[in-house]
Amino acid sequence: MHAAVVVFPGSNCDRDLAVAFEASGAKVSKVWHKDTEIPEGVDIIGIPGGFSFGDYLRCGAIAANSPICKSVAAHAKRGGYVIGICNGFQVLTETGLLPGALLRNAGLKYICKTVGLKVETASSAFTQGYTAGDVIDIPIAHHDGNYFADDATIARLQGDERIAFTYTDTPNGAKADIAGILSENRRVLGMMPHPERAADAAHGGTDGQALFRALSGALEAV
């Protein structure tokens, strides 16, 4: 598996994401936001967490309009895989690759802690290493993770089993307890929690490892 990790000014989880990909056996290339091309042969693009462009205007809004994001959208349209974590999820909603938006946390506080996530579907390359119904412990670290979409969109996500993860005890006000969602073709995942921060025994938890291993297994087989 060849993964590309996009780096924006203000990204701060790009290295963690690259390390998690590498630990699962992937080759990783880092791509700068001003680049216009994704390297040849990339199977999956990772949009990392952080505070791209200082969260100015809206979280992820300026990153979503950076040169590299046109190539990210083209990659997704071709059926390529994309994972956006935390700020990366915000970027993916701002680009329109995933529906909805991430609002300020309902309690107005930045929250940094490990939370329980329920795996809602094992039917995707990202979640097939889990069993639907599993509860895993993954850290969150965000100020704007309150998922919002109109009721029709929420109903569609539920009906199509595109909700990948929900919070067992929603910390941020997210509608329908949504922590992560899939695109229609199930190849784009956006999630607020950080699986790359629970991918090594030294992290204090390894519940995120199965996501990267499953992905690597699925994409090696392609």
Partner 1 sequence: MKARVHVMLKNGVLDPQGDAVRHALGAMGFNGVEGVRQGKVIELDLADGSTEADVTAMCEKLLANTVIESYTVEMN
Q: Active-site residue numbers? A: 86, 194, 196
- Give least dist CB 195 to partner 1, A: 25
Instruction: Pick from 2, 10, 35, 61 the residue near partner 1 by CB under 8 A.
Output: 61
| Count of other CB atoms within 10 angstroms of residue 56 | 11
Instruction: Pick from 31, 68, 149, 199 the residue near partner 1 by CB under 8 A.
Output: 149
Query: Which residue lies nearer to partner 1 by CB, 62 or 136?
Result: 62
Query: Which residue lies nearer to partner 1 by CB, 19 or 61?
Result: 61
Contact between 10 and partner 1 (CB under 8 A)? no
> What is the residue-wise DSSP string for the chain?
-EEEEEE-TTB-SHHHHHHHHHHTT-EEEEEETT---PPTT--EEEE--B-GGGG-SSTTHHHHTSHHHHHHHHHHHTT-EEEEETHHHHHHHHHTSSSSEEEPPTT-S-EEEEEEEEE----STTTTTS-TT-EEEEEEEESS-EEE--HHHHHHHHHTT-EEEEESS-SS--GGGEEEEE-TTS-EEEESS-GGGSSBGGGTB-TTHHHHHHHHHHHH--
Instruction: Pick from 148, 161, 176, 217 the residue near partner 1 by CB under 8 A.
Output: 148
- Give least dist CB 151 to partner 1, A: 9
Binding segment for partner 1 (CB under 8 A), chosen from 142-150, 154-162, 178-186, 189-197, is 142-150
Instruction: Pick from 9, 10, 116, 173 the residue near partner 1 by CB under 8 A.
Output: 173
Interaction residues for partner 1, span 79-98 (CB under 8 A): 93-94
Site string for partner 1, 11-50 (x = CB under 8 A): ----------------------------------------
Backbone angles phi and psi of 111, in degrees to 5: -120, 125
Contact between 107 and partner 1 (CB under 8 A)? yes
HSE value, Cβ hemisphere, 13 Å, CA-based, for 47 = 35
Residues near partner 1 (CB under 8 A):
57-58, 61-62, 65, 93-94, 99-101, 103-108, 146, 148-149, 173
